[in-house]
């Protein structure tokens, strides 16, 4: 009997640098590339229209590329655990390939599929190509723990073996005689659905600012490198008003979906650098974007609670406020702060915002102004942001809300000042908040301060046509910095007066005292120092409620173990309702 193989696309939506697909084809008689439409975005079906549209573009592009190789893409509806046994039988499959997925949900799903494959005597071929490195090796190099600071991560990267070269692109030569049985009813049964078929309202939908697909990705890569070569400057680009707008050389969504191989990008960057800088060694900062992504994948891979505060060993337990009304205002761009609202508008319309814009809105929602949990912000980004995948999204939110990774919390992005300094003229605001278009630059960032005549002339009265600011920033940031300080002082057992020293610099600074939880003598005096110190030791943190047990002492961070009791994440999410075919 011949070898009938399935290649299962999840991420890695490309034909270049796809080693598991390449291996799958070797010696196979038939090949079917499938994509399973299932709640795929780990954790929820909370996916907005832009992300679905991007995905469908990717699938169409794959289908078109496969057509050139006399093959097709098979889009299959259902849950993988139901779909595979059926396909194994129907197509007489004896080989299955897919790209390794490092995320905890992905690993669990794949373990279940591996089991099914073993039972059906199907050979499974898996290769790493979504990350630069084998993440388990990085963790091993760090003594079995994921690195918790970016600096440590960089140090480990320096010691790793070189990144593997991208695999050769799948072409007719690679496919050779491997055939794909295509039925006449292929389009009906396995065609890429449209947005309408998925239940979306598409009337009034503007053209995608970020078109999906491998073809587009590779084109953008070329442009990106061209621009870098022309500038001949590999330094971090200075932020200006233009940087806020979607760039035709932006690559992050393509990396997330795997339309662009991170390894290809890595090597092309290295080659370009060597060419322009005459063979000197590229510094790590050249790969900033790729390494941050790698860092968050590494910290997340063994932590199924990575996207939560509760039960997450690397997350500081912060008493965030529960306030659905305030959250909605933020998510819908109705905060009354034009800078914040414009950013959230761009996000909702286009699916991408500059990373400094992300810092601004994330800070505003969490530790800066609203004191709302980062988990809520993460969910909104998950819905709207094209390049937000589970690990990177959760990790970034924890970072930006100072919930992890030993971040200093003193720098707060002002929702007025930061925007004003970035784009003094306010064109970005005018573009995404047309209601404020007629405001002069002087008042466009804080229109509530504009005199009545100015507001009337701009035909936009604050409180009527555009909301009043939902918080008093000075007051809110004052309260919040105090809250963060309270929390970090308890965590680090720091008893001094400085703000900076409350945040420990790295995990190797062990706790100095035993007073994070526990010893409840009540009569002990503090070891000298201020009565504040005595006060904090004696009067607080002694209830021993469950929550205290989650306070991170650095012992806990060091003894962080792989959770063996991964709760089986049943794929019981409410999938989008598909229109019946």
Tokens of 452: 């009545």
- Quick check: 259 binds other proteins (CB under 8 A)? no
Instruction: Give the burial class of 511: count Cβ atoms within 10 A of its Cβ; 0-12 exposed, 13-18 middle, 19 or more buried.
Output: middle
* 9 known member of a binding site: no
Task: Find the part of the chain contacting other proteins (CB under 8 A) among 67-75, 91-99, 118-126, 406-414.
Answer: 406-414
Q: Does 288 bind other proteins (CB under 8 A)?
A: yes
Size of the site for other proteins (CB under 8 A): 88
Asked whether the beta carbons of 209 and 49 are under 8 A apart, the reply is no
Torsion of Cα atoms, 298 then 299 then 302 then 303, to 10°: -150
Closest distance between other proteins and the C-beta of residue 231, in Å? 14
Tell me if 475 contacts other proteins by CB under 8 A. yes
- Residues 414, 433, 462, 470: which binds other proteins (CB under 8 A)? 414
Distance between CA atoms of 446 and 399, rounded to whole angstroms? 28
Burial environment of residue 429 by CB neighbours within 10 A (0 to 12, 13 to 18, 19 or more): buried
Strand partners, 98: 8, 126
Binding window for other proteins (CB under 8 A); candidates: 2-10, 138-146, 330-338, 395-403: 395-403
171-180 residues labelled b (16+ CB within 10 A) or e (exposed): eeebbeebeb
**Nearer Cβ to other proteins (37/262):** 262
Query: Is residue 504 close enough to count as binding other proteins by CB under 8 A?
Result: no
Q: Which is nearer to other proteins, 440 or 496 (CB)?
A: 496
Shortest distance, position 147 Cβ to other proteins, whole Å: 14
If one asks whether residue 512 binds other proteins (CB under 8 A), the answer comes out as no
Contact in structure between 403 and 396 (CB atoms under 8 Å): no
Within 201-230, the residues that bind other proteins by CB under 8 A are none
CA torsion sign for 255, 349, 58, 389 is positive
What are phi and psi for residue 125, nearest 5 degrees?
A: -120, 120
Q: Residue 277, interface with other proteins (CB under 8 A)? A: no
Cβ of residue 341: shortest distance to other proteins, in angstroms?
Answer: 20
Residue 295: its H or E element: helix 288-300
Piece of the chain touching other proteins by CB under 8 A; list 11-19, 122-130, 138-146, 541-549 = 541-549
Among the listed ranges 5-13, 100-108, 332-340, 526-534, the one in contact with other proteins (CB under 8 A) is 526-534
Residues from 45 through 84 that contact other proteins (CB under 8 A): none
Site stretch for other proteins (CB under 8 A), options 22-30, 44-52, 220-228, 288-296: 288-296
Separation of alpha carbons 166 and 248, rounded Å: 24
In angstroms, the CA 475 to CA 280 distance is: 51
283 binds other proteins (CB under 8 A): yes
Q: Of these, 482, 562, 568, 579, which contacts other proteins (CB under 8 A)? A: 482
Give the shortest CB-473-to-other proteins separation in angstroms. 8
Residue whose structure tokens are 């929602």: 365
Our finding on whether 107 is near other proteins (CB under 8 A) is: no
Return d(Cα 102, Cα 232) in angstroms, integer: 35
Our finding on whether 404 is near other proteins (CB under 8 A) is: no
Among 119, 196, 321, 332, binds other proteins (CB under 8 A): 321
Report if residue 514 touches other proteins, rule: CB under 8 A: yes
Using the structure block, give the residue that is written with the tokens 């610099």: 505
Handedness of CA 518, 523, 527, 529 (dihedral sign): positive
By CB under 8 A, what part of segment 150-209 binds other proteins? 150-151
Q: Determine how many CB atoms are found less than 10 A away from the CB of residue 148.
A: 18
388 annotated binding-site participant: yes
Closer to other proteins by Cβ: residue 138 or 394 = 394
What residues are designated binding site for FAD?
Answer: 289-296, 387-389
What residues are designated binding site?
Answer: 289-296, 387-389
């Amino acid at each position: 009997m011949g070898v009938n193989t399935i290649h299962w696309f999840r991420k890695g939506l490309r034909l270049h640098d796809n080693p598991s697909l390449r291996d799958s084809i070797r010696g196979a008689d038939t090949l079917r590339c499938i994509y399973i439409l299932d709640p795929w975005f780990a954790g929820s079906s909370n996916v907005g229209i832009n992300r679905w549209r991007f995905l469908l573009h990717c699938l169409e592009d794959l289908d078109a590329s496969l057509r050139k190789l006399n093959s097709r893409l098979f889009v299959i509806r259902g849950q993988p655990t139901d779909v595979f046994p059926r396909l194994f039988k129907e197509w007489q499959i004896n080989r299955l390939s897919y790209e390794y997925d490092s995320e905890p949900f992905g690993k669990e799903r794949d373990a279940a599929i591996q089991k099914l494959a073993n039972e059906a005597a199907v050979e499974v071929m898996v290769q790493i190509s979504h990350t630069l490195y084998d993440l388990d090796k990085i963790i091993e190099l760090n003594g079995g723990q994921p690195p918790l600071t970016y600096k440590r991560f960089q140090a480990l990267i320096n010691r790793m073996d070189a990144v593997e070269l991208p695999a050769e692109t799948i072409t007719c030569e690679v496919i050779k005689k491997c055939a794909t049985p295509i039925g006449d009813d292929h389009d009906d049964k396995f065609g890429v659905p449209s947005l309408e078929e998925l239940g979306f309202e598409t009337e009034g939908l503007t053209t995608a600012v970020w078109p999906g697909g491998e073809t587009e990705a590779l084109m953008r890569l070329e442009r990106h490198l061209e621009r870098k070569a022309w500038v001949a400057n590999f330094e971090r680009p200075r932020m200006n008003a233009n940087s806020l707008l979607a760039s035709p050389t932006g690559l992050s969504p393509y990396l997330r979906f795997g339309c662009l191989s991170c390894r290809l990008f890595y090597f092309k960057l290295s080659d370009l650098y060597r060419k322009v800088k005459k063979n000197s060694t590229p510094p790590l900062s050249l790969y900033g974007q790729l390494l941050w992504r790698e860092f968050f994948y590494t910290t997340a891979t063994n932590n199924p609670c990575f996207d939560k505060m509760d039960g997450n060993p690397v997350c500081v337990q912060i008493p965030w406020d529960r306030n659905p009304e305030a959250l909605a205002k933020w998510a819908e761009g109705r905060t009354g702060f034009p800078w914040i609202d414009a950013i959230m508008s761009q996000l909702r319309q286009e699916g991408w915002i500059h990373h400094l814009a992300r810092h601004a809105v994330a800070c505003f929602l969490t530790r800066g102004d609203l004191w709302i949990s980062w988990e809520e912000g993460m969910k909104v980004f998950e819905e709207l942001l094209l390049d937000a995948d589970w690990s990177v999204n959760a990790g970034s939110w924890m970072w930006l809300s100072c919930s992890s990774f030993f971040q200093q919390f003193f720098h707060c992005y002002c929702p007025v000042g930061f925007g004003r300094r970035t784009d003094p003229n306010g064109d970005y605001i005018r573009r995404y908040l047309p209601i404020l278009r007629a405001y002069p630059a002087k008042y466009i960032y804080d229109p509530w301060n504009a005199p009545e005549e100015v507001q009337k002339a701009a035909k936009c009265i604050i409180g009527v046509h555009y909301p009043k600011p939902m918080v008093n920033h000075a007051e809110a940031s004052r309260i919040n910095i105090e809250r963060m300080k309270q929390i970090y002082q308890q965590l680090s057992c720091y008893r001094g007066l400085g703000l900076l020293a409350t945040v420990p610099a790295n995990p190797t600074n062990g706790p100095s005292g035993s007073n994070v939880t526990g010893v409840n003598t009540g009569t002990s005096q503090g070891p000298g120092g201020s009565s504040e110190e005595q006060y904090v030791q004696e009067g607080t943190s002694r209830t021993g409620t469950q929550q205290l047990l989650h306070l991170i002492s650095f012992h806990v961070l060091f003894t962080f173990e792989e959770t063996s009791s991964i709760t089986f994440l049943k794929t019981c999410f409410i999938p989008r309702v598909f229109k019946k075919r």
